[in-house]
Structure formats: C-alpha cells, structure tokens
A and B are shown apart, each in its own frame.
Chain A
Amino acid sequence: MTVSSTSHQQEQGRFITVMKDILARPSGRIGLTLVLFHILLALLSPLIAPYDFKLQNSSLMLSPPSSEHWLGADHLGRDILSRTLMGGREALLVTGIATPLAVIWGGFIGILFGLVGGRVDEVLMRVVDAFLSLPWILKMLVLIVTFGTGIGVLIPTLTFFYGIPVIRVARAATHDIIARDFVWAAKARGHSRISIIWRELLPNVLDTLMVEGAMRWSWMLLAFSSLSFLGFGVSPPTPDWGLMISDARGFMSFAPWGVIAPVIGLSSLIIGINLSADALAKALGIDRAQKAPM
C-alpha cells in the first residue's frame, strides 16, 4: 500500500465523516434539504410550472389566489406560482458560477498576500480595506452602468466584488496557520516552500475557504436579487424573485401575494444556505464566531 492511496482514502473518509456530522445536526439537515430542494426546483421547474411564465392575461390582473392560480396573478395577469417556481433559476445559475470563481481568485490572492507578508502585504491590505469600505451596491452599479447588464456582465462583476472579502479571510487564515508550530516544525526540518504550502497550509486554509464560500453564496444571492430589484439584474420577462418583488411592491396593499411568494422563495434559499454553512463550519471545527479553528 502506498502512502498516496492512504491519503486519498483519508480524504474520502473525511468527506464522509464531515457529511455525517453535518447531517447529524438539525441545522445541517434542514439547510441541506432547503438547498437541494431549490436546486432541484431550478432544474425541473420548467417542467412542473403549471402555466407559461410569460403568458399575460389581462382578465387576471392582480387577481387573488384561486383554485386555478394558486398564488394569484401579477399586474400583467401572469401566474405567480409559475413565476415563483422559476424565479430562482437565474439567481442560482449566476451565483452558482460566480461564488466558486470568487472563492478561487480571492482565496488565491489572499493566500499569496498572507505568504508574502511584510510591507507589501500591509499596503495591499489597506487597498482592499479601502475598497471594502465603499458601499458595494455603488461599486456594482458603476460597473453595470458602464458595461451594461446581462449574465455576461453580472457573473464577472459578482465574481470580482465577492472575491475581495475572500482575500481578507484567506489572508487571515494563512497568517494564522503559518504562525502555528507545525509549520515552524516543517520549516525547521527543511521542507521546500512548495511542500509546506501544499501539505501544511492549503488543507487547513481550504476548510476556512469552504465555509467562507458558503457564506459568500448567500450574500451574493441577496446582492443579485437586489440588483434585479433595482432593475440592473435580469431583464423582463424572465422570472426572477428580485424583479418580481420590485414589480409587485406597488400593489402590496391590495395584492400582497405578489410580494409574499418571491420573498418566501428567496429567503428560504438564503436560510437554507446559511444553516448549511453553519453546520459545515461546526463539522469542520471552525468556529466562525471566534474566527479560528477550535
């Protein structure tokens, strides 16, 4: 038996233990169920949706829930249930691509900063901090107004902006780990830099990044929906929760179902992600409150 196969089995074994640990927690069970449900829904909703999401029927305008249209219809007389079922597709697609990309680039740069250390690192972190202190929505609006909307702009924009806080986290985690005695021990033994980064640092930082990724995902969803809400995200008539809330909010007082349905869709997904992230953090032994592995 070679050592590489041992470590491979080790990784597999770890995945299973972590999964079991997550599922042993109520937060993990509820969270993962919600997330899976939403992903399935995004994949299957075109098949299940009872009506065509863009079909307008003026006689149904703002009609309340009925036996035909369970959640009523919106201001253009479109079926709210069908639109709500499909309203997460775009959001999941965009954030599902942008989140991993953000974690990868932010993580890479953060680890690099953390390793370089010293003056360079400090100066660069000031830049990051300054950037983070600007209201994010402003930054994104500037970019979107300059380059236009659509998936082709949204994905790179979100990737870029959400990678920046990841830099902070990855850098802090790197600093934490390289100050630990096991890294000192590896240095004193005379291991190469690459080997220290690869074997000692990365496995530990990746844990932190995974949890960070999950958290970023939920923030990104919220940002995406906010952009849609402001009219810079998905273009009509594509169904999207943010856009639906924006459209329906004017009729809130007499047709509240138009707002309630997409709000439930969006918040259940975000709650699901947060609960899963929580359970993941606990399963990996990363206490997010203390920002340090226990």
Chain B
Amino acid sequence: MPQSLFIDIKNLSVGYTSRSGKTIPVLRDVNLSITRGDSIGLVGESGSGKSTLALAAMGYFKRGLHVISGQVQFDGIDMLNIERNALQRLRGGRLALIPQNSGQSLTPNLRIGQQIIEALRLHSDLPATGFDAGVIDLLSQVRLPDPIGLTDRYPHELSGGQQQRVAIAMALASDPEALLLDEPTTGLDVTTQAHIMELLRDLAKDRNLAMLYVSHDLGAIARVCNKVMVMYAGETVLTGSAKQVLLSPRHPYAHGLLASIPRLNEASLPQALDGRPPMPSETITGCAFADRCKLADQTCHSSPPQLNHLETGEAVRCFHHDQIGQLNRKPEKSARSNPVVADKDIALSLANLAVSYSRPGLLSKLFTPQDTPPSTVDRITIDIKKGETLGLVGESGSGKSTILKTIAGMVPAQSGNIILNQTEPLDTMVEKRPAAYLRQVQIIFQNPDDSLNPRHTVAQILAQPLRLYYGLSGTPLRDRSIAILEQVRLGEHYLERLPSQLSGGEKQRVAIARAFAADPEIILCDEVTSALDVSVQAAVLDLLDVLKRQDGTTYIFVSHDLAVVKAISDRVAVLYQGRICEIGPVAAVYSAPFHPYTDALLGAVLEPDPDVAPRLTADDAVELSPPKTGCPFQRRCPRKLGSICETNIPTAQEIAPGHIIHCHIPQVDL
C-alpha cells in the first residue's frame, strides 16, 4: 500500500521585504514530500535556504520572513492557515524539532529529570504518576548510561554528546510522528557524532518516523537518510535517493560539493568549488549556478533551467545533466605538493612540553602537594622540519589549541622547552620574547568572526603586522597590502571593507593574509576551516597549500577532522588528553597498525557514502581530566590490557622509522 504523504510542501516561496520595499525570495518554488519511514537529507551551502525550508515544514518562519506562495501540509492539515493553538499543539507534539545546539540550550538550572517531566507534561497524555517511569524510559531509549542517576544531574554535568541525547529524549517525549533536525551534531566530536547518528538511524526505523535532516555534513546525511535533496540559492537543484545523489550526483553543483569534501581514502587535497552563491537580492537571469559551473554555456546564462524528472527517479535542475560525466571526479592536481625532504633543518622543537591550567593556592601547595591535578598537556616532544606540515588531531579537549597557544607564548608552559631554529629555548611568555622571534611564528584562529576586529577595515588589519615588523606606512604599506591581498586571491577593493562586509571564506582569507604579511617561518593553524562551508574549506586548504609551496612555510595544523588533516599534513600526531598517542607520516598513521585511539577515531569518521558504515569501537564518554598515571586512554580503551595500562606510561614503540605508537600492546598485535 503506498503511504500517504505526511509532510507535503508544494510550490513554496518564502521571502522578506527589503528596505526599499521589494520582496526578496529566499526560497523559490520548492516542493518537498516526506512519507512515514522516509528520512530526507537537506544539503546546501550556508544561505541556501535549508533551515528556512525545514522550519517551514512546521509552519514556522523566522522574523521578517513571509510566505509568498505555496502550501505546507502536515498529515493533511494546512499548516499555513491553521489556528494558533492547534499549531502549537502540533509543534513539539506530533512534529518535533531538534535545532542546532539544542543540547546546549537545555535550561541550565533545572535537573535533567525535571526538564523531561516538563516535556512529558506538555506534550504527552501520560498521567502524572507515569512521569518518573516515562523519564527513565526516554533516557534509556537514547542510550544514556545510568538513566536513574542522570535524572538528578544538571545539564552542565553532562558532556556535549550526552546533552544532545537529552535534547533528543525531550523531543521524543511527545511520541512524535515526524522529526525535524537542524544540524543536530555540529560541534560534537567525531566519535560522539557517529554514536548519535546510529541512535537517530535506529529511532527512525523503530518508530517509523518521517524525518527531515538538515546538515552541511554529507557524511552524516549518508548515514541516516534514504533520500537527499540538494538546495542552491533557494531552489532545489537535485533530488534522488541517497545513493544516487552521493555516489553519482547528476547536477554540477552537487558534483562540486561532493568533490570538495576531503576523504580518508584519498591522499590529495579536495577540489575547491570556486566563487560563491548569489545573494538573495541579486537578480538571476539564467541558472543560479552558472557563474561557478564548468558546464555552463550561453543558454545557462540566459534562461533558467526547470526541474527535470528523470526516469531513474531523480529530479535535476540543469540543462546539461547528461554531460555530467565530463566533470572529472579525480582532482586535476596530482597529490599535494612537497613531501618533506629528510635532510631539512629543524624549524621548531618541542621538548618534553607540559602545560597546566590549574594554579593551586599556596595552602594546597604546602599541605596537599600530591593533590594537584595532572597537567592538561604533558610529554609533548616533536621536532618539526622546515617546510613541513604537522597535523594535530584529537577530540575536543585533547589539548590541541593549548599546544598552539603555548608555542605562541599566550599560555605559559609548565615545563619543557620551545626551541626555534635550533637556538636557545624561547621564553614562555610572549612579552619577553625578542621581536625577531615573534615575527617568525604567526597564528590563525578557527573563527574569523572572532579573530578579526569588527571595527577595523581590511587595510587596518593588514597594516598591523606590516607596521609592527617592517615599519611600513603610506604608499609602500598600501602597495604591500594589495600584493598580499592578491596572494590570497582578494582584490584591492577589499581594502576598505569591514569584516562584517565579508563572507566567511573571505574573512578567513584576510586572517590568512594577516599571518602571511609577517612573512613568518611557522604558521599555527587552529581549526582554520571548521567554521567554513565544505566548498569554502577546500578553497582555503588549497590556498594554504599554494602559499606554503611559494614561501616554504612550516605549518602546524590543528583540526578535529581527520580527513582534513590527512589532506594537508605530511606528518600527524594523534592526541588524547594532552598526550601523544601516535605520531608518524600521514600514510603510516592512517593505515594499520593503529593505536587503539586512532583506530576509534578513524572508525567513527562518517564518509559521504551510504554504503560505508562506521566502526564504533570506543564509547563516546567525555573525560574532564587525564588520569594521573598510566595510559591517557585507559578509561575508554576497548583493548585495554589490564592494570599495566593504569600504572605505567606506555612505552614508545617505533613501528617504522618515524612512526611511533605509545601503547602497551606489543607491536605484532596492534
């Protein structure tokens, strides 16, 4: 029996009214239907209208947005002309939403149990006597350990992944028939994310939910969705089954998007998708993607393509979808540039570096010296060669940023040395380091919104290092600024812009330009692409690689994304709780034998391929501080040997030249 449409959006256009009184569409003529048991992934770059569409499915529109035309139905109910109270009852009732960061938006001062009871009271027909049992039931359904103990805890006493599970449990309180998820795992660790995805997948199946899953993460979509819809500039450009869309995309944009994702099984940089999507206010005469499309011709620029329904079940908005084969999946460039030559000099040595954030008071120093918590970062010894890119991977809290901040002199080292160019050790605090050294080490941060002063123009931002290190001013300053901007592929006209007038990718380019303006020898990159869309990320990675080839710069590249690190690094260090688990050349670390933690991380990576399932070895518990003795990974290690792991620091085993694994398991068994 064919199932009836459950969520049915027909010809929906949504827009806002600009200051000049024009109606500007952000969604244009979108159709979307979901039956029960279906789980649809909605993908696209930021600004493509994904979230607007998902919210529209529950009859909700962000302030300023209104429906221009079209229909939204939920199980036959007209969601656009429904009386307020009935709508309220549907939302959070039969139709539940799990928004971005919903885990963090739990009420901070209310115990978990009370919050879920509140949800049960509002949205279920459970009698009050059944609440307690209901809470336990929901918490076990989202596979939280020790549900009874959890009910008495406050949200801040849970890890990010656990908070997200509680948020999901609350959404399930009403026994919903449809679930809308908006980037539900963004910001969570790979292992946590993988676990949540498995949970959602099972829930959808067990409860026969209709699910709409919004994400820019195609790996997550591949895992939970059976159908995918790709949006571009407010329009549907491609729909099809997850396999069709993710494995053989029939639209040039989807093709480019997939090619821009770094993958574990490729040793090269992903292909960048140049350009940016049009703003909603720009008038588009032809295909919205034409400016960025390699297949575009005259027709594409002059007339808009219609959505074509193919026999295979896909729908494509493209004149030339039959020529998609001309776009090569393989990158044009062969593998990334320069593997480091072994005889290069050492640019930076970290010698037995340790960092601690705890500042015990005088009293506890005197009376309970043994109680000081273990250092956040410890035993970091790495030599980085000139021109090398060292990747640092690990989950949140593994001390990646701390190591970079210590190298930059912003956090004092507890012990150990930082040595630049094989000279004498640097002072731990930046104020005391000689100016000549400061220029040589520059840092680029994760979030360009935070690392660029919102009150400074691009010219002022670039002037800072140029004036400080080179004393430039007047025309030479301006000329140099323009030259640097061109290096990061931005034009002179960007000089007078403020950060708020730039897109995310452009901001990060300015931040990169500022670092390169100092002409440094070492650049510390802290998650520099994780705030960016995948297509933009590919372009930024490419830029970093080109600049490095030009200047022979040394990078330390920190990321939680294993595929990104693989794409850009020569050598990788895997960190857990501030200790190195494994270090070695990329190819060696990403292939067997593995340290158990590396294995857990790699197994949890979600590939944008519906046929590849993650391997979940370790659980996703979060530890707040490293264990005092033994192996840092002992509490989560699936292969733990026994008490030796708790008492003895694992020895460094050199598996191959330069490839070192810190584990008690003998090399042959790893």
B468 contact from A7, A24, A191, A200, Cβ within 8 A: A191
Which segment of A179-187, A230-238, A243-251 sits at the interface?
A: A179-187
Contact A182 B457 (CB under 8 A): no
Contact A186 B455 (CB under 8 A): no
Q: How far is the CA of A185 from the CA of B454 in the complex (A)?
A: 14
Residues of B within 8 A of A (CB-CB), count: 40
Complex contacts, A185 vs chain B, CB 8 Å: 443, 445, 451, 514
Complex contacts, A199 vs chain B, CB 8 Å: 453, 456, 464
Contact A189 B474 (CB under 8 A): no
Contact B455 A187 (CB under 8 A): no
Complex contacts, A203 vs chain B, CB 8 Å: 453, 455-456
Q: How far is the CA of A36 from the CA of B468 in the complex (A)?
A: 45
User: What is the CB-to-nearest-CB distance from A26 to chain B, in angstroms, rounded to a whole number?
Assistant: 12
With A7-B460, A181-B447, A189-B518 as given contacts, are A2 and B473 in contact (CB-CB < 8 Å)? yes
Contact A188 B409 (CB under 8 A): yes
The yes or no answer to B9 lying at the interface (CB within 8 A) is no
The yes or no answer to B433 lying at the interface (CB within 8 A) is yes
Q: From residue 472 to 514 of chain B, which have CB atoms closer than 8 A to chain A?
A: 473-475, 477-478, 496, 500, 514
Contact A204 B454 (CB under 8 A): yes
Complex contacts, A191 vs chain B, CB 8 Å: 464, 468
User: What is the CB-to-nearest-CB distance from B450 to chain A, in angstroms, rounded to a whole number?
Assistant: 4
With A3-B460, A3-B474, A3-B477 as given contacts, are A188 and B451 in contact (CB-CB < 8 Å)? no
The yes or no answer to A57 lying at the interface (CB within 8 A) is no
The yes or no answer to B459 lying at the interface (CB within 8 A) is yes
B410 contact from A180, A184, A204, A293, Cβ within 8 A: A184
The yes or no answer to B463 lying at the interface (CB within 8 A) is yes
The yes or no answer to A1 lying at the interface (CB within 8 A) is yes
Contact A3 B473 (CB under 8 A): yes
Q: Is the interface of A mostly helix, strand, loop or mixed?
A: helix
User: What is the CB-to-nearest-CB distance from B362 to chain A, in angstroms, rounded to a whole number?
Assistant: 13
Q: How far is the CA of A203 from the CA of B469 in the complex (A)?
A: 23
Question: How large, as a class, is the contact surface on chain A?
Answer: 20 to 34
Closest to A201 in B: B453
Complex contacts, B453 vs chain A, CB 8 Å: 182, 199-200, 203-204
The yes or no answer to A10 lying at the interface (CB within 8 A) is yes
User: What is the CB-to-nearest-CB distance from B471 to chain A, in angstroms, rounded to a whole number?
Assistant: 13
Complex contacts, B430 vs chain A, CB 8 Å: 187-188, 190
Contact B445 A181 (CB under 8 A): yes
Contact B454 A293 (CB under 8 A): yes
The yes or no answer to A6 lying at the interface (CB within 8 A) is yes
With A188-B410, A190-B438 as given contacts, are A3 and B459 in contact (CB-CB < 8 Å)? yes
Query: Interface code A140-181, partner B: CB below 8 Å = 1, 0 otherwise?
Result: 000000000000000000000000000000000000000011
The yes or no answer to B627 lying at the interface (CB within 8 A) is no
Contact A2 B474 (CB under 8 A): yes
Q: How far is the CA of A27 from the CA of B60 in the complex (A)?
A: 27
Q: How far is the CA of A199 from the CA of B467 in the complex (A)?
A: 13
Interface centre among B446, B456, B514 (most CB of A within 10 A): B456
The yes or no answer to B465 lying at the interface (CB within 8 A) is yes
The yes or no answer to B435 lying at the interface (CB within 8 A) is yes
Q: How far is the CA of A182 from the CA of B457 in the complex (A)?
A: 13
Query: Interface code B288-327, partner A: CB below 8 Å = 1, 0 otherwise?
Result: 0000000000000000000000000000000000000000
A190 contact from B435, B446, B451, Cβ within 8 A: B435
User: What is the CB-to-nearest-CB distance from A190 to chain B, in angstroms, rounded to a whole number?
Assistant: 4
B452 contact from A182, A207, A293, Cβ within 8 A: A182
Contact B438 A188 (CB under 8 A): yes
User: What is the CB-to-nearest-CB distance from B9 to chain A, in angstroms, rounded to a whole number?
Assistant: 30
User: What is the CB-to-nearest-CB distance from A25 to chain B, in angstroms, rounded to a whole number?
Assistant: 10
Q: How far is the CA of A285 from the CA of B439 in the complex (A)?
A: 33
Contact A189 B438 (CB under 8 A): yes
User: What is the CB-to-nearest-CB distance from B169 to chain A, in angstroms, rounded to a whole number?
Assistant: 28
The yes or no answer to B84 lying at the interface (CB within 8 A) is no
Q: How far is the CA of A6 from the CA of B442 in the complex (A)?
A: 26
Q: How far is the CA of A243 from the CA of B303 in the complex (A)?
A: 72
User: What is the CB-to-nearest-CB distance from A285 to chain B, in angstroms, rounded to a whole number?
Assistant: 8
Complex contacts, B583 vs chain A, CB 8 Å: none
Complex contacts, B443 vs chain A, CB 8 Å: 184-185, 188
Contact A10 B454 (CB under 8 A): no
Q: How far is the CA of A121 from the CA of B451 in the complex (A)?
A: 26
With A3-B477, A203-B453 as given contacts, are A190 and B19 in contact (CB-CB < 8 Å)? no
Contact A188 B473 (CB under 8 A): no
Closest to B475 in A: A1
The yes or no answer to B273 lying at the interface (CB within 8 A) is no
User: What is the CB-to-nearest-CB distance from A195 to chain B, in angstroms, rounded to a whole number?
Assistant: 8
Q: How far is the CA of A292 from the CA of B453 in the complex (A)?
A: 14
Query: Interface code A186-212, partner B: CB below 8 Å = 1, 0 otherwise?
Result: 111111000000011001100100000
Contact B468 A1 (CB under 8 A): no
Q: How far is the CA of A182 from the CA of B410 in the complex (A)?
A: 13
User: What is the CB-to-nearest-CB distance from A222 to chain B, in angstroms, rounded to a whole number?
Assistant: 31
Q: How far is the CA of A6 from the CA of B457 in the complex (A)?
A: 10
User: What is the CB-to-nearest-CB distance from B510 to chain A, in angstroms, rounded to a whole number?
Assistant: 11
Q: From residue 124 to 149 of chain A, which have CB atoms closer than 8 A to chain B?
A: none
Contact A190 B445 (CB under 8 A): no
Contact B450 A180 (CB under 8 A): yes
Contact A190 B468 (CB under 8 A): yes
User: What is the CB-to-nearest-CB distance from B494 to chain A, in angstroms, rounded to a whole number?
Assistant: 14
Complex contacts, B447 vs chain A, CB 8 Å: 181
Contact A189 B465 (CB under 8 A): yes
The yes or no answer to B172 lying at the interface (CB within 8 A) is no
Q: How far is the CA of A1 from the CA of B442 in the complex (A)?
A: 28
Q: How far is the CA of A53 from the CA of B618 in the complex (A)?
A: 84
Return the 5 tightest CB-CB contacts between A and B, nearest first.
A190-B438, A181-B451, A203-B455, A181-B445, A181-B450
Interchain Cβ contacts under 8 Å between A and B, 11 examples: A3-B459, A3-B478, A7-B460, A182-B451, A187-B410, A188-B410, A189-B465, A189-B518, A190-B438, A191-B468, A200-B453
